[in-house]
Amino acid sequence: MTTTSAPAVLVEGLHKRYGDKRAVDGLDLRVEHGEIVAVLGPNGAGKTTTVETLEGFRRADAGHVRVLGEDPAHGDRRWRSRLGVVLQDNHDMAEATVREIVHHVAGFYPAPRDPEAVIDAVGLREKRSARTRALSGGQRRRLDVALGVVGDPELLFLDEPTTGFDPQARHEFWGLVKGLRDEGTTILLTTHYLEEAEHLADRVVVVADGRVVAQGAPDTLGGRRARRARVRWTEDGTPREEVTDTPTALVARLTSRLAGADGEVAGLQVLRPTLEDVYLGLIDAAHDAAGTTHEETPR
Ligand SMILES: Nc1ncnc2c1ncn2[C@@H]1O[C@H](COP(=O)(O)OP(=O)(O)OP(=O)(O)O)[C@@H](O)[C@H]1O
ipTM score for this prediction? 0.96
Closest by CA position to 108, among listed 140, 56, 148, 139 = 148
Pocket test for ligand 1, best of 47, 86, 213 (most atoms within 8 A of CB): 47
* Residue spans per domain, the chain: 9-216, 223-296
Specify the residue with its C-alpha closest to ligand 1, atom 31. Answer: 44
Each residue of 175-226: pLDDT tens digit? 888 988 998 999 999 999 999 999 999 999 999 999 999 999 998 887 767 7
44 lines ligand 1 (CB under 6 A): yes
Distance 5 CA to ligand 1 centre (A): 32
- Enumerate residues 6+ apart whose C-beta is below 8 A from 181: 34, 36, 187
Q: In the structure, what pLDDT confidence band is assigned to residue 4 with cuts at 50, 70 and 90?
A: low
Distance 28 CA to ligand 1 centre (A): 18
Domain boundaries 9-216, corresponding CATH code: 3.40.50.300
Element (H, E) at 235: strand 229-235
Angle of CA points 48, 52, 56, to nearest 5°: 170
Specify the residue with its C-alpha closest to ligand 1, atom 25. Answer: 43
Each residue of 56-83: pLDDT tens digit? 999 999 999 999 999 999 989 899 999 9
pLDDT score of 91 more than 90: no
Distance 48 CA to ligand 1 centre (A): 7
Distance 221 CA to ligand 1 centre (A): 25
Each residue of 138-160: pLDDT tens digit? 888 888 889 999 999 999 999 88
* Whole-prediction pTM: 0.84
80 lines ligand 1 (CB under 6 A): no
> How confident is the model at residue 125, as a pLDDT?
92
